[in-house]
Amino acid sequence: MNGTRTVRVETAGKIGRVTFCRPEVHNAFNDQVIDEMTFAFKRLKTDSDVRVVILSGDGKSFCAGADLNWMRRVKDSAFEDNLDEARRLADLFWDIYSFPKPVIGRINGAAIGGGTGFVAVTDIAVAAKSAVFSFSEVKIGVVPACISPYVIKRVGEGKAREFFLTGERLTADRALDAGLVNRAVPDEMLDATVNGLVEYLLSSGPEAIRVCKELLQ
């Protein structure tokens, strides 16, 4: 792990923010991102002041999926190492999906491959109209294994079959129609929409929200 942070964690009152901060590679994730993101959500889980978390990305993209350089290294590793990396990613998705506080996805740009998994595990995903989405794993000869349970819950098996098998790009409006995101708004309205949702969530009882989330899992 190098000395550069790949995930930024900020808190302000009752709001926590977790941000992918590798804009130079469109916020592609690698083992370091997985570790830092895991730590971020564990930290916010135990922060009694934080009641809502916003997940977003720096720069023009939300998350471009797995870093190809990291994937090449993993591919050349032993089977056990590959399995360990997959389990760590799967555990991270579960940590976010089962997080006891509401998680809003602020989808500021492209969500590609595994990046769509981070969209699917949020409670409410708000996409900028300029955002694009793609389950592009098949284009490079892999399968969307870790993200599939959450995507299927979001969009249903029929649409998941189409999206997984074709790897086609989806507009924000089509992602909204499919149920992958909850709202698609003009780019200039993204923050106002997210902030409005935060206010709604903060006006509700935190224990009631936690139990509602458990009922839905």
Among candidate residues 10, 137, 188, 207, the one labeled active-site is 137
Q: SS3 of 138, please?
A: helix
Give the per-residue pLDDT at 3: 54
The residues facing 125 across adjacent strands are 105
What CA–CA distances, in Å, run from 215 to 203, 210, 211? 20, 9, 6
Q: How many domains does the chain have?
A: 1
- Is 208 contained in some domain? no
| DSSP assigned state of 150 | H
- Cβ neighbours around 76 below 10 Å, total: 9
Residue 92 confidence class, pLDDT cut points 50, 70, 90: very high
- Is 202 contained in some domain? no
Average pLDDT, integer, range 79-93? 86
Question: Contact at 8 Å (CB) between 124 and 162?
Answer: no
Q: Which residue has the tokens 């098998």?
A: 165
- Is 209 contained in some domain? no
| Beta strand 124-128 pairing with 7-12 | unpaired
Q: Between 148-155 and 157-166, two packed helices, what is the crossing angle to 10 degrees?
A: 130
Q: What is the mean pLDDT of the chain?
A: 95
* Structural domain for 145, as ranges: 7-197
pLDDT (tens digit per residue) in 124-160:
999 999 999 999 999 988 899 999 999 999 999 999 9
Question: Contact at 8 Å (CB) between 158 and 102?
Answer: no
How far is Cα 21 from Cα 177, in angstroms, rounded to an integer? 29
- Does 137 qualify as catalytic in the annotation? yes
Q: Which residue has the tokens 């500021």?
A: 108
Identify which has the larger pLDDT, 112 or 86: 112
- Is 178 contained in some domain? yes
Beta-carbon contacts of residue 54 (< 8 Å; ≥ 6 apart): 15, 16, 17, 18, 103, 104, 106, 194, 198
At 155, which CATH number? 3.90.226.10
Q: Which residue has the tokens 């029929």?
A: 158
Phi, psi torsion values for 38, nearest 5 degrees: -60, -45
- Is 90 contained in some domain? yes
| DSSP assigned state of 26 | T
- Is 159 contained in some domain? yes
Average pLDDT, integer, range 84-99? 95
How far is Cα 61 from Cα 32, in angstroms, rounded to an integer? 18
- Is 216 contained in some domain? no
Question: Contact at 8 Å (CB) between 24 and 61?
Answer: no
Give the per-residue pLDDT at 1: 44
How far is Cα 60 from Cα 161, in angstroms, rounded to an integer? 28
Cα–Cα nearest to 37, from 70, 81, 6, 82: 6
